[in-house]
Structure formats: structure tokens, C-alpha cells
Structure 1
Amino acid sequence: MTAPARIRQEDIARALKGCKKAGFSPARVTIEANGNVVFEFSDGAPLPVVRANPLDRVL
């Protein structure tokens, strides 16, 4: 049996709604392996998508 999710979609939606209400424009939400939720904000310019691949060091 699997463990229940630490972070639910409702939690993220609630946090994003609060960010928008406070005047921030969230650009990206990242949920790290240890359960931390990271919100990144932009000033209008879209952020580039960067995904680190652990196999890049091998190749």
C-alpha cells in the first residue's frame, strides 16, 4: 500500500490563489523530493525550463 500524498493539488491551488490575491504572478511551482514546495515568481518575462538530468554527467 502506498503512503498518502504529502502535498495535494488543493494545497497548491490554495497557495497560488493567495499569491495572486497578494499581487504576485507565479511562474513555476516545484515540489522537491523531500516535500518542500518552491514557488518561483516572474516579473513578466517567462522563465526558461531547465531540467537537470543526472545522466548528463555520464554522457
Structure 2
Amino acid sequence: MMANRPAIVTKVEVARSIAAAISAGLKIGRVEVDHRAGLVVIVPEGSPDDSGGNPCDRLLKK
């Protein structure tokens, strides 16, 4: 049984980060959350780092 502990990255922090990116005019391609390090990474749409998850989706966009 695991002990309850507070989240390092909360749902509210992720929502605020996404809302800030959108209000700055960023089109979001992907959001990564690293709970161990406490990081929220937002990758813009069309970025070279935006691998898209499913390789078939990338092929169909071409």
C-alpha cells in the first residue's frame, strides 16, 4: 500500500501553464508532464520536437 503524498505537479499548475501558452498565441502540439522532476513541457505545434505520438498521423499530414 502506497502512502498518500502531495503531487509535485498539480492539475492546476498544468492547466495554468496550458492557459498561459494559449493566451500567448501558442498553438500546442504536445504537453509533457514529468512528475518526478516537477516539470511541465509544452511543445509548440509544428516544432521539430513535435513528433506527434503516432507515426501514422505524421504520414497522413503530408
Check whether TM > 0.5: yes
Structure ranking higher on relative contact order (CA contacts 8 Å, 6+ apart): 2
1:9 to 8, 11, 31: 11
Instruction: Give the TM-score normalised by the residue count of structure 1.
Output: 0.63
- Partner Cα separation in structure 2 for residue 4 and residue 37 of structure 1: 17
Cα pair 2:17 2:40 within 8 Å, conserved? no
1:29 aligned residue (28, 31, 49): 31
Q: Is the 8 A contact 2:33 2:40 kept in 1?
A: yes
The answer on whether the counterparts of 2:29 and 2:43 sit within 8 Å (CA) in structure 1 is: yes
Root-mean-square deviation (CA, aligned residues, Å) is: 2.0
Distance in structure 2 (CA, Å) of the matches to 1:31 and 1:15: 11
Shift of residue 37, structure 1, vs aligned partner: 1.6
**Unaligned stretches of 5+ residues in structure 1:** 51-59
Question: Is residue 39 of structure 1 aligned with residue 42 of structure 2?
Answer: yes
